[in-house]
């Protein structure tokens, strides 16, 4: 799980340059998120972890923080 | 780094060129005049499997890589902008379902869309809503096992012939995507004619009056209609439009070069005039630059790179501006003849403008590309 978080954090740092993201921090509340980011995040997760984000994964709670993103990835990889 | 087409891509490119030269380009003038792409041409396109060019093999599609899809759209753009727009919007609807649809939706609709048995269209724009897509006024309310839709859609490409629409409405106050069949109760459409260009794109205005669709026609989830469903469709739309502009640019260049060989002024062919040479040079260079941006975007998509999205915006922005310059110069080179229907550049000029409007205006692209630069540099 920690390794997943490191890779997700690395990707997110492109968007939150001047802000050290906490694992539980709500990234939607920081005001940087737009449609481009949302789709880039999906593409990143799919490529980096070789999984497919499905329509039933499209719950914003799954993408709200590093922790929730890592949990989604972890659960899909173990499925 | 290796920038060249593979032998398979070259083979398919030749196949596309031959098909467009034989079946598509010769119909373009008639299509424009009659404001329709005839059914038999659509059937020929479907018979080639081109309506499934963007879909995986498992659904009966071609499973082509993005570069090959780009080459197809470039050739169609060279032959007939309206026929290219069919590939674009049909693909947008199909890919929206492929990417975010349920397994049931994918298994039911995609084989039919890949074969061309049904045509899809993308219904986002409304009479009061263009660039500000978040503000769609069409509503969807869940009642028992059905969504009830009310509202209007406008400027829907291929809306006159589409069997299904990937349509966007506010559900629980949030933008949401739905599959709406033409035969749904409460659905009606009205053709839109008399456009400047891309006249055969068979646009329509859609009316949804207590339009009832099954609950299972929701695509994605409530609230992700724009951020995920529409955005992935629009990326494909922008990509194919950008390649279509390259093809249209190529058509302008070819007609211009041919004309400057034949047309004589001051006792010499136009091609010997250095100001004409300057226009030809700018055409060659800008078309090539646009094509390279398109290739780059396609390459990033094929490798799953998240930067594909921004690369596509950049390619579409450049290519749509490019074609307006190129088509304008093509008319300029043709002089008064360029104003006449007897010369294809007249149509090319009219067809070029819409590319700076659809799938995001030039100005929206300028905002988004600049914001991305501010964020990343």
Q: Closest approach of chain A CAs to the CA of B307, in angstroms?
A: 7
pLDDT in tens, B248-267: 999 999 999 999 999 999 99
Interchain contact A74–B (C-beta under 8 A): no
Is B375 within 8 Å of A15 when comparing Cβ atoms?
yes
- Chain B residue at shortest CA distance from A45: B306
Question: B-chain residues within 8 Å CB-CB of A15?
Answer: 375
Mean pLDDT by 10 residues, chain B (377 residues): 93 98 98 98 98 98 98 98 98 97 97 98 96 94 98 98 98 97 98 97 98 97 92 96 98 98 97 98 98 98 95 98 98 98 98 97 96 86
In 3D space, the residue among B55, B57, B87 whose CA is nearest the CA of residue B71 turns out to be: B87
pLDDT in tens, A12-31: 888 877 788 889 999 888 77
pLDDT in tens, B267-291: 999 999 999 999 999 999 999 999 9
Task: Delimit the domains of chain B by residue range.
Answer: 7-115, 120-222, 226-376
3-state secondary structure B343-373: CHHHHHHHHHHHHHCCCCCHHHHHHHHHHHH
Question: A-chain residues within 8 Å CB-CB of B220?
Answer: 55, 58
Q: Which residues of B are catalytic?
A: 359
Is B309 within 8 Å of A60 when comparing Cβ atoms?
no
Interface of A with B in 3-42 (CB under 8 A): 11, 14-15, 17, 32, 35-36, 38-42
Q: Closest approach of chain A CAs to the CA of B366, in angstroms?
A: 14
Residue A32: its pLDDT value, please? Answer: 66
pLDDT in tens, B320-336: 999 999 999 999 999 99
pLDDT in tens, A21-70: 889 999 888 776 777 888 899 999 999 999 999 988 988 889 999 999 99
Measured N-to-C along each axis, helices A35-49 and B308-334 cross at an angle, to the nearest 10 degrees, of: 120
Please name each of the domains of chain A with its CATH number: 1-10+26-78 (1.10.1200)
Tokens found for residue B121: 């269209």
Q: In CATH, which superfamily holds the domain spanning B120-222?
A: Butyryl-CoA Dehydrogenase, subunit A, domain 2 (2.40.110.10)
Which residue has 């629409």 as its token pair? B165
**pTM (2 decimals)?**
0.95
Is B304 within 8 Å of A56 when comparing Cβ atoms?
no
Is A55 within 8 Å of B101 when comparing Cβ atoms?
yes
Q: Which CATH number fits domain B7-115: 1.10.540.10, 3.40.50.620, 3.40.140.10, 2.60.120.10?
A: 1.10.540.10
Is B231 within 8 Å of A14 when comparing Cβ atoms?
no
Mutate to test the interface with B, among A53, A58, A60, A62 (most CBs of B within 10 A): A58
Look up the ipTM and state it.
Answer: 0.87
Give CB contacts under 8 A, 24+ apart, made by B264-272: B270/B333
Distance, CA of B77 to CA of B17 (rounded, Å): 11
Residue A8: its pLDDT value, please? Answer: 94
Residue A33: its pLDDT value, please? Answer: 72
Kindly list the residues of chain B whose beta carbon comes within 8 Å of any beta carbon in chain A.
100-102, 219-221, 223-224, 226-228, 231-232, 235, 303-310, 368, 372, 375-376
Architecture of domain B226-376: Up-down Bundle (1.20)
How far lies B323's CA from each of B25, B65, B320, B343, in Å?
Answer: 18, 25, 5, 17
């Amino acid at each position: 799980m920690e390794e997943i978080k490191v890779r997700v954090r690395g990707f997110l740092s492109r968007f939150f340059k001047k802000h050290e993201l906490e694992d539980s921090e709500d990234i939607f509340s920081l005001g940087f998120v737009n449609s481009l980011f949302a789709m880039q995040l999906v593409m990143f997760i799919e490529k980096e972890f070789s999984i497919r984000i499905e329509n039933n994964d499209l719950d914003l709670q799954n993408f709200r923080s590093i922790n929730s993103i890592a949990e989604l990835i972890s659960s899909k990889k173990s499925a | 780094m290796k920038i060249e087409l593979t032998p398979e891509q070259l083979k398919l490119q030749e196949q596309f060129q031959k098909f467009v030269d034989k079946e598509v380009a010769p119909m373009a003038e008639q299509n424009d005049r009659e404001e329709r792409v005839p059914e038999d041409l659509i059937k020929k396109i479907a018979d080639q499997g081109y309506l499934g060019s963007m879909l995986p093999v498992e659904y009966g599609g071609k499973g082509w890589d993005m570069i090959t899809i780009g080459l197809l759209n470039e050739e169609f753009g060279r032959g007939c902008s309206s026929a290219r727009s069919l590939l674009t919007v049909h693909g947008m609807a199909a890919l929206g379902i492929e990417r975010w649809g349920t397994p049931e939706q994918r298994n039911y609709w995609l084989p039919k869309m890949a074969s061309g048995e049904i045509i899809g269209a993308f219904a986002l724009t409304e009479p009061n809503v263009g660039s500000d897509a978040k503000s769609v006024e069409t509503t969807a309310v869940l009642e028992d096992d059905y969504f009830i839709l009310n509202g209007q859609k406008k400027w829907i490409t291929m809306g006159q012939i589409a069997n299904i629409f990937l349509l966007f409405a506010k559900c629980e106050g949030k933008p949401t995507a739905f599959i709406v069949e033409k035969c749904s109760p409460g659905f009606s459409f009205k053709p839109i004619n008399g456009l400047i260009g891309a006249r055969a794109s068979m646009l329509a205005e859609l009316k949804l009056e207590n339009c009832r669709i099954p609950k299972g026609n929701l695509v994605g989830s409530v609230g992700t209609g724009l951020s995920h469903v529409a955005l992935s469709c629009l990326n494909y739309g922008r990509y194919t439009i950008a390649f279509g502009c390259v093809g249209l640019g190529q058509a302008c260049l070819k007609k211009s070069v041919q004309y400057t060989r034949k047309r004589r002024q001051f006792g010499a062919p136009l091609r010997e005039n250095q100001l004409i040479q300057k226009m030809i040079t700018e055409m060659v260079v800008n078309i090539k630059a646009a094509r390279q941006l398109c290739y780059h975007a396609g390459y990033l998509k094929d490798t799953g790179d998240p930067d594909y999205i921004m690369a596509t915006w950049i390619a579409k922005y450049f290519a749509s501006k490019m074609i307006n310059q190129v088509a304008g110069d093509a008319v300029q080179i043709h002089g008064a003849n360029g104003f006449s229907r007897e010369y294809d550049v007249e149509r090319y000029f009219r067809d070029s403008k819409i590319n700076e409007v659809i799938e995001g205006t030039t100005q929206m692209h300028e905002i988004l590309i600049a914001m991305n630069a501010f964020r990343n540099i």
